Amino acid sequence: MDTPIPAAGRDFIRQIIDADLAAGKHVNVVTRFPPEPNGYLHIGHAKAICLNFGLAAEFGSQVPARCHLRFDDTNPEKEEQEYIDAIEADVRWLGFDWGEHLYHASDYFQKLYDYSEELIQQGLAYVDDQSAEEIRATRGTLTEPGTDSPWRNRSVEENLDLFRRMRAGEFADGSRVLRGRIDMASPNLNMRDPALWRIRRAPHPRTGDAWLIYPMYDFTHPLSDALEYITHSICTLEFENHRPLYDWAVDNVSVPCKPRQIEFARLNLSYTVMSKRKLLFLVKEGHVDGWDDPRMPTLSGLRRRGYTPEAIRDFCERIGVAKRDSMVDVQLLEHCLREDLNRRAQRRMAVVDPLPLSIENWEEGRVDWLEAVNNPEDASAGTRQVPFTGELFIEREDFVEDPPKKWFRLSPGAEVRLRWGYLFTCTQVVKDAQGRVERLVGRIDPESRGGNAPDGRKVKGTIHWVSAAHALDAEVRLYEHLFALEKPGADRDFLEDINPHSLKCVTHCKLEAALAEATPELPVQFERLGYFVRDSRAPGLVFNRTVTLRDTWAKEAVKG
């Protein structure tokens, strides 16, 4: 696995743009992010978004620069308004703004149609009557050339007539296609007379019934770029061998400019799948609770989980861009998240697995309001008052009857600090009929308010607690990776690699009363337990654990 190192110099894309500007090839920089609205955006898209919008922002200090948001909506059967809305919301949430530059490939259908007639006029496109199967069967292989369609040498007039009638709806779905007339013997299969338009009677979310022929992606994409005066069309490596077709399209029709396609390596993340087809399957088959399930790598899932846009942007910056495919450790993403949350999140006390604790030497009904620091990393976050009483809850795992060596938390006779409060010694363990610990009883040192012993004796352990009378009852959802293997589906169906323990719902957790005001937008740290955020969907008090406190990535990075 690669450990990404922050790019020391400028990556190859920035170098290309630097050189183009220096040579006077361009006087501005125009990029675009071109999602197909057939699913929700994921962390891989975030890499492309940060890159394209980031370039526009960076070069904007030098030359006029902008980044477009363009929906590549050429496949009406798979596309939905829900996805369009979610994509816009997610790009904005990540912190980017396309201003007035929102476009849809479907706005260009008429222009693409006109360009296709230009191709026909030049003998560079023809209507093929073969079925999809026949076309596939005559395409050849990597070692064998394809065979010409019997319709390849139709006259310009016949092609124009047939293409116009395709558009007018005279022919059945799938009965004809318009193909580029390029080279059936090309070593690049994409150049073997690729389909440019197909007949499909499907209503489109934006053009409705206006069109019943639809342009293919490989044809639409370059011409849309050209129509928008994109200077650098940045896409992922799988399009590298589509580039000749990209160039063919912009070279052979009267578009106003010729954008340059540049490919970079897509993001692959361990323990994660990023194919929209697989993510859709997880949603449709109910393996997760929707596209925004907090275990999903979608931006809406990460947001619901408690990720911040800052953490995701930091991650995208650190991984950089390269020409070679690699796998990024998901722990790096979590590391970026912890760094951001550590600065941002207010601390609160919460007990996930409550064990009652009674203080013998506390007067009945007395409440002490203790001062607690909201964020030790940020003085401006201030302090709050936390109620301390004679009946508390502590975390069950903070007590053991028979402590191992170096156990600094609670055990019979041992003294610990109750965070922000008093020093406490356990004097009695109350058990139920099964022998399970039911309650602890003990005494505080009344002189130790604030947590320090009056005689200066050392107390190593500090544990968190909440006052039973003031506690809020809540559900807490603890997550692990959605997949149990680093590369899900590497050598079997990816569903078999789903982690059966990816979600644990814990009810009757006890929270500090201040958490009643928690919102899904404000991350909090439950002291000693991790970062949490209030769930944006569930009614009542439900919290998602965003990430634990333990940063294994940082540790491994130090080890080298």
Q: Using an 8 Å Cβ cutoff, are 388 and 467 in contact?
A: yes
Q: Measured from the CB atom, is 269 or 498 closer to ligand ATP?
A: 269
To ligand ATP, the closest distance from the beta carbon of 53 in angstroms equals 12
To ligand ATP, the closest distance from the beta carbon of 270 in angstroms equals 13
Q: Measured from the CB atom, is 90 or 193 closer to ligand ATP?
A: 90
Please compute Rg for the chain using Cα positions: 31
Active-site residue numbers?
36, 266, 276
Tell me the CA distances in angstroms from 501 to 171, 183, 262, 372, one per residue in order: 53, 53, 41, 35
Distance (Å, whole) CA 171 – CA 126:
16
Paired tokens of 317: 């910056």
Q: Measured from the CB atom, is 330 or 416 closer to ligand ATP?
A: 330
Interacting residues of 199 by C-beta distance below 8 A, sequence separation 6+:
166, 171, 172, 173, 174, 175, 176, 177, 212, 213
Query: Interface with ligand ATP by CB under 6 A: which residues?
Result: 34-36, 38, 44-45, 47-48, 235-236, 266-267, 274, 276
Which residue type does 522 have?
L
To ligand ATP, the closest distance from the beta carbon of 407 in angstroms equals 45
Interacting residues of 180 by C-beta distance below 8 A, sequence separation 6+:
119, 124, 125, 193, 194, 196, 219, 245, 248
To ligand ATP, the closest distance from the beta carbon of 37 in angstroms equals 8
Distance (Å, whole) CA 176 – CA 195:
10
To ligand ATP, the closest distance from the beta carbon of 72 in angstroms equals 6
Residue number of the CB atom closest to ligand ATP: 44
> Could you tell me where the beta strands, DSSP code E, fall in 80-180?
102-104, 125-128, 177-180
To ligand ATP, the closest distance from the beta carbon of 310 in angstroms equals 19
Q: Measured from the CB atom, is 263 or 497 closer to ligand ATP?
A: 263
Q: Using an 8 Å Cβ cutoff, are 320 and 539 in contact?
A: no
Q: Using an 8 Å Cβ cutoff, are 452 and 475 in contact?
A: no
Q: Measured from the CB atom, is 45 or 206 closer to ligand ATP?
A: 45
Distance (Å, whole) CA 459 – CA 453:
8
Q: Measured from the CB atom, is 44 or 488 closer to ligand ATP?
A: 44
Tell me the CA distances in angstroms from 191 to 180, 241, 242, 335, one per residue in order: 8, 9, 8, 44
